[in-house]
Amino acid sequence: MYKYDPKSLCADEFINHEEILKSLEWADEHKSDRELAQSLIEKAKELKGLTHREASLLLACDIPEINEQIFSLAEQIKKDFYGNRIVMFAPLYLSNYCVNGCLYCPYHLKNKHIPRKKLTQEEVRREVIALQDMGHKRLAIEAGEDPVNNPIEYILECIKTIYSVHHRNGDIRRVNVNIAATTVEEYKMLKDAGIGTYILFQETYHKESYLTLHPTGPKHDYNYHTEAMDRAMEGGIDDVGLGVLFGLDKYRYEFVGLLMHAEHLEAVHGVGPHTISFPRVKRADDINPDDFDNGISDDIFAKIIACCRVCVPYTGMIISTRESGDCRERVLKYGISQISGGSKTSVGGYCDDSQSEASTEQSEDHAVQTASGAERSEVSTEQNEASTEQFDVSDKRSLDEVVRWLMEIGYIPSFCTACYREGRTGDRFMSLCKSGQIQNCCHPNALMTLKEYLVDYAGNGTREIGERLIESELANIPSDKVRETVIERLGLIEEGKRDFRF
């Protein structure tokens, strides 16, 4: 039997099964203890976080008044550290070739009817142009695990291509990477390529379930996968992103494992995860989420996010277009700091979409002349996009619609990537975040990058709302000098200058 040790580099020790079970048992014993729960709320108000065991109690707590305080505190912590800013990003799927047998993902090797596709560098360039034309500045690249079709050299070449594309006023300024666990040497290569955050979802921390859900392929190795973040940080990557796929196993077990992983990174490397993502199992090509009996309700989902924000107050928290607009709006205030918009989860999906839109704008005469061929082409495009999706997108709104929605409900859509490019990463970012000094950079940077979006990409209605928002938010910049600089730079952006940052 393994002994729990957050400083160990062995997955069975820092994500210790017996410790998780003891934490869940303790939480069950004390979930109705009002005095204890209240003491944990008061401790969380000190903004130093809670242990995984303490967090487990709050998640299990069945006292309505305490639960109200959890949500209220999460909302306040979110405001204190992230204000009303929401960072925008988009996924970019490079390849769906994969040698693994994951039972919850349509890219699994045994799926013989899904079209396999890998982008060429020219196709990557076209995808990036399509994303830049939407207004995106930050991408998360995704690829299946296949050492033949998707070797590290291919990933590195794609990153180089992405950073090289400068279409009109467009730039991708930060590339985050979500690829399979790899070696220290290859993580060093990713670091040298200038990536932002390395993201790797654990899927499930329950080892027995993990092995069942990953019956074949290199991902079957639970320890190698779970210890990947240590190798990434050893390879020089400052920012790493955690996440579990809620619905694969019991949510309370996953919640404790997730926090134990964060505690481990803090104990060993001096800095916890840069981000935590909250995906849920969704329908895909040959995947039915009803086949997994650990699905969670929206109410439980919201409480998980609120408890996570209370327990790890400084960490960025991400929710994607897997979730509906209503669900995303609900959890934004409880801790989410990053969302995707206008996303495509198919390989080549952004160009497929733009080509489909272009085809609908053809003249009527041309459409008549080529009716049968155009119709076949459009249907083929739609079928190809749908059949190569990793999961069904629930929030199908365009980026402009998402940006406008955020502003209408009081948030600042931010396209900022300044911290990464100014070297404010890892422990340097966390120290600024914990001291509150990061606000002096993030708020003005959010306004300036939003201004870029409004000038270059926004629809008229979106721009009108955005200009009013920027005008009102200028008053919230505490430093007169910084405010004057921002006002000057907003004018320069209007004149065509780009990429200002603090």
Q: What is the domain partition of the chain in residue ranges?
A: 77-340, 399-494
Tokens 């996570």, residue located:
308
Nearest one of 282, 346, 280 to 96, comparing CA atoms: 346
Number of neighbouring beta carbons within 10 Å of residue 121: 14
Contact 279, 105 (CB under 8 A): no
Chain-centroid distance of CA 283 in Å reads 19
Contact 283, 105 (CB under 8 A): no
**Furthest-apart CA pair in the chain: how many Å?**
77
| pLDDT value for 374 | 39
Mean pLDDT split into 10-residue runs, the chain, 502 residues: 95 98 98 98 96 98 97 96 96 98 94 94 98 98 98 98 97 98 98 98 98 98 98 97 96 98 97 96 76 89 98 96 96 97 96 61 38 39 59 92 98 94 82 73 96 98 98 94 96 97 92
Q: Where are the alpha helices (DSSP H) in 175-221?
A: 184-192, 207-213
> In this structure, which amino acid lies at residue 379?
V
Contact 324, 395 (CB under 8 A): yes
Tokens 């459409």, residue located:
367
Cα-only R_g, the chain: 23
Encoded tokens for 35: 């005095």
Spell 144-166 as b/e; 16+ CB within 10 A means b.
Answer: bbbeebbebebbbebbebbbebe
Contact 182, 155 (CB under 8 A): no
Q: Where are the alpha helices (DSSP H) in 50-120?
A: 52-60, 64-82
Query: What are the start-end ranges of the E strands in 259-401?
Result: 275-277, 316-319, 338-340
List CB contacts of 111: < 8 A, sequence separation 6 or more: 285, 286
| pLDDT value for 365 | 38
User: For the whole model, what pTM was predicted?
Assistant: 0.92
406-to-171, 172, 177 alpha-carbon distances in Å: 22, 22, 26
Q: Which fold has domain 77-340?
A: TIM Barrel (3.20.20)
Q: Is 34 exposed, middle or buried (0-12, 13-18, 19+ CB in 10 A)?
A: exposed
| pLDDT value for 387 | 64
| pLDDT value for 354 | 60
Nearest one of 493, 460, 476, 368 to 412, comparing CA atoms: 476
